[in-house]
Structure 1
């Protein structure tokens, strides 16, 4: 059997990992592209045994990079969420954790020229239109991966990568509150439907019959919880203008509870059919914005509204994630201007990944 070789970098970005490839090394046709990514990851098997996926939603992600024709951006980042057990690919969302590796990968691929000890890489997330400025450590014009920065959910330390997200409102919908309501009832449960970097349905943990302090494994075993959340999510997707979201990973679902360790809130983020082991970068921005915006289901969790920019610690199953939200509030209008985070990334492997020739010949 002939095989097709595709150049790739294998990288950890934040608390996710996956292949990073040049868009030009992949088929243009979307259906053929999906076939390639399904084969590459090994989707359709719980262990992704015939591909390089890791058997979880945070390890079946793909980043495709190209030089940008945007006046502001240096590089375009096209993201694909490949399913684990189904042969499906979703191109609607972006992924903030995988985005952490885009700056280093773009430099490694020669798409961006390093400048000085720190190189700013301006990224356009083409799935959502979000603009992100990433500061990458490049002493001697080489990407530096070692350092003293740590993030919960990832062992060890690495060089910090500072991210500033802009144009985050309405990533996949009509705006910050796509249904026109800050709070609404679905199936007898009060939720807030919001879109800041990620379209989300946000509720209170207690309203879904949990404490909000359960581990990811405990939540994954709670089938009744997922049935209740999915029924709410499907209706919310329609109301948010996303149509039938039965086979789409957006909107995501997030649940809030009071903090236990001095943070702004305890959060549980769902991808949506499993609990995230930590917290998505995009989801952190939406959840933090929900805490800040008056009139949402998060009302009362913050003892007093902070001033802008607000530095907030969100407590997730494996620790904390800090997000800084720059916002404006005037009269009854609430606006998210930008969001900042610090994450890390590391190059794990480089070379060629192989797919069967009958899936794509490479021509």
Structure 2
């Protein structure tokens, strides 16, 4: 039985286990084996591990200080399988980045400012650069706060998360095929798609192509998930994210549907008017509808909506100040794209919240070698 220190931190609408790089190295076990055992990934209920049996609660990040100038910490993000003994390392998670920023402040991985502290982060999976700005009044790391986000009523420490120069973070360009619209062969025929790489690679389809209008509750949207899962594989090949003989990834690219704003009711029963947001979106998370939206997906949507010719640009209500309000199953999430500076050409900002739930010493049952 191996012992591993870790912290469970809620970042936005995800729960993420954060581990220090040195602790993982000291375990002297292949990191995939370590995480699969810690989360009990083989069991779809993850009963004998720390996973929460959903895509938003079966996540981990491994953090270490960075030696690179202008960067405080580096982290790798892991999406751990649920009933599937596999760890996905290809993507990033903005909600977990929110948790990583709070972890860095709590562990003294960045000097604390007298009013606020900005953690400069590098996601080693994708090369994406992010910032997380947290209030630290009097140079003290906060344990609690009053900030909330759509998808949970629980308050947390406010975190202003920024994705710096997000376009092309994985493939090198915002439109990996060079076109704002492509076509893919799905199980029900050819369908239009916008393939975008910003924050994370994403394949965005029109909701009406699946008989939807973007207002659907999760159960109704779930009916389109099998077709979108098939199309995700085709999108991965078209974007150069996979080769035909590679294993199928259920994490990359992100995949979902967009539509013009219409009135709808959130998963918590709150009525949202069509004038309260600019673009309807429903995303898939691994094998199921996302209960809100991943932040890397939100960045991809913001970029797509600002790119003429894409399906998101076609569907979105035009805005003039870089703000885009996304209508998700959990409510309205607002993104704001800011002009660039000496470090980046632009930054996409999102207001999030984080709370440390537990510090723990995990007892991990490492299987004996064959």
SS in 2 for 1:192: strand
Uncovered stretches (5+) of structure 2, i.e. residues with no partner: 263-272
Aligned to 1:199: 201
SS in 2 for 1:127: coil
Aligned to 1:13: 11
Q: What is the Cα deviation at residue 296 of structure 1? A: 0.6
Q: Does the CA contact (< 8 Å) of 2:279 and 2:317 recur in 1?
A: no
Aligned to 1:294: 308
Q: Provide the aligned C-alpha RMSD in A.
A: 2.1
Aligned to 2:260: 258
Counterparts in 2 of 1:28 and 1:239: CA distance versus 1, 3 Å: farther
Q: Does the CA contact (< 8 Å) of 2:167 and 2:303 recur in 1?
A: no
Counterparts in 2 of 1:302 and 1:178: CA distance versus 1, 3 Å: same
Q: 2: CA distance between counterparts of 1:74 and 1:259?
A: 39
Counterparts in 2 of 1:4 and 1:30: CA distance versus 1, 3 Å: closer
Q: What is the Cα deviation at residue 30 of structure 1? A: 11
Q: 2: CA distance between counterparts of 1:288 and 1:92?
A: 21
Q: 1: CA distance between counterparts of 2:75 and 2:106?
A: 15
Count of residue pairs the alignment pairs up: 347
Q: 2: CA distance between counterparts of 1:147 and 1:108?
A: 14
Aligned to 1:275: 289
Equivalent of residue 216 in structure 1, options 209, 212, 218: 218
SS in 2 for 1:286: helix
Aligned to 2:2: 4
SS in 2 for 1:100: helix
Q: Does the CA contact (< 8 Å) of 1:290 and 1:296 recur in 2?
A: yes
Asked if residue 38 in structure 1 is aligned to residue 36 in structure 2, the reply is yes
Q: What is the Cα deviation at residue 28 of structure 1? A: 8.3
Q: Does the CA contact (< 8 Å) of 2:144 and 2:156 recur in 1?
A: yes
Q: What is the Cα deviation at residue 143 of structure 1? A: 2.1
SS in 2 for 1:250: coil
Q: What is the Cα deviation at residue 238 of structure 1? A: 0.8
Aligned to 2:355: 346
Q: 2: CA distance between counterparts of 1:336 and 1:17?
A: 31
Aligned to 1:130: 128
Counterparts in 2 of 1:30 and 1:258: CA distance versus 1, 3 Å: farther
Q: 2: CA distance between counterparts of 1:316 and 1:89?
A: 27
Q: What are the superposed Cα offsets for residues 240-298 of structure 1, whole Å, 9 maximum, x if unpaired?
A: 01114613410110211121332111110112421110011110010121112101112
SS in 2 for 1:170: coil
TM score, norm. by length of structure 2: 0.88
SS in 2 for 1:107: helix
Aligned to 2:299: 285
SS in 2 for 1:124: strand
Q: 2: CA distance between counterparts of 1:121 and 1:299?
A: 32
Q: What are the superposed Cα offsets for residues 18-39 of structure 1, whole Å, 9 maximum, x if unpaired?
A: 2111011114899810000011
Aligned to 1:167: 165
Q: Does the CA contact (< 8 Å) of 2:225 and 2:284 recur in 1?
A: no
Q: What is the Cα deviation at residue 180 of structure 1? A: 1.5
Uncovered stretches (5+) of structure 1, i.e. residues with no partner: 329-334
Equivalent of residue 147 in structure 1, options 136, 140, 145: 145
TM score, norm. by length of structure 1: 0.90
